[in-house]
Amino acid sequence: MTESTFIHRYEPARDAGSPPLLLLHGTGGDENDLLGLGKMISPGSALLSPRGRVLEHGMPRFFRRLAEGVFDEDDVRKRALELGDFVAEAQQRYGIAAPVAVGFSNGANIAAALLLLKPEALTGAILLRAMVPLSDASKAELGGKPVLLLSGQADPIVPASNSARLAALLSESGARVDHKVLPAGHQLSQADVTLARNWIGNVDAKAA
């Protein structure tokens, strides 16, 4: 793999019919953080889990931010394209199809940016506590890609208006968006796991 390589973990599929998952951690996480979540959501899937390459006070992230909720959008674009290159190389290296992204917080934001900037990198996405990643994002051609957006009603970081705007942006770009607002904050809950597992099961069945 080339200079776009990320430190990452890869676990092969245990069920060839399950979609591979691209696991994208939140701020301060690493390549190990979401492996357990991936196994709960889709036990048979191959798991590809990179570590963000930007450090904020020593904590890994997938792109720079200027303040809480204020993103360095030039960096978002650059890092999303780097991640797309990494995914393409991993597909060749490990012999997997384009994955479904499962992103939490900062990881969900880079997944949303990847959908908008390089949609061919993903077959769909589960976005957990995501925000609009780019204020001037042009509509992508998402061609019916399935997206599950799970927001927290009491999330102190992501305003309800922002997650609603992200749902609208992805829908207008052609994604099939299922947006649910849960009685939760920014942290994940059992409801997130259950909804994600059921959703990916339905996506899997439709693909089959």
Active site members: 105, 155, 186
Q: Report the C-alpha gap between 97 and 101 in whole angstroms.
A: 12
DSSP string, 21-48: EEEE--TT--TTTTHHHHHHH-TTS-EE
CA neighbours closer than 13 Å in the CB half-sphere of residue 7: 12
* Four-point Cα dihedral 149, 171, 62, 5, nearest 10: 110
Give the Cα separation of 103 and 92 in Å (integer): 22
Q: Say how far apart CA 95 and CA 40 lie, in whole Å.
A: 23
Token duo for residue 100: 């479904």
Phi, psi of 161 (to 5 degrees): -65, -30
Alpha carbons 89 and 112: distance in angstroms, whole number:
20
Distances in Å between the Cα of 137 and the Cα atoms of 7, 53, 77, 172 are 28, 23, 10, 12
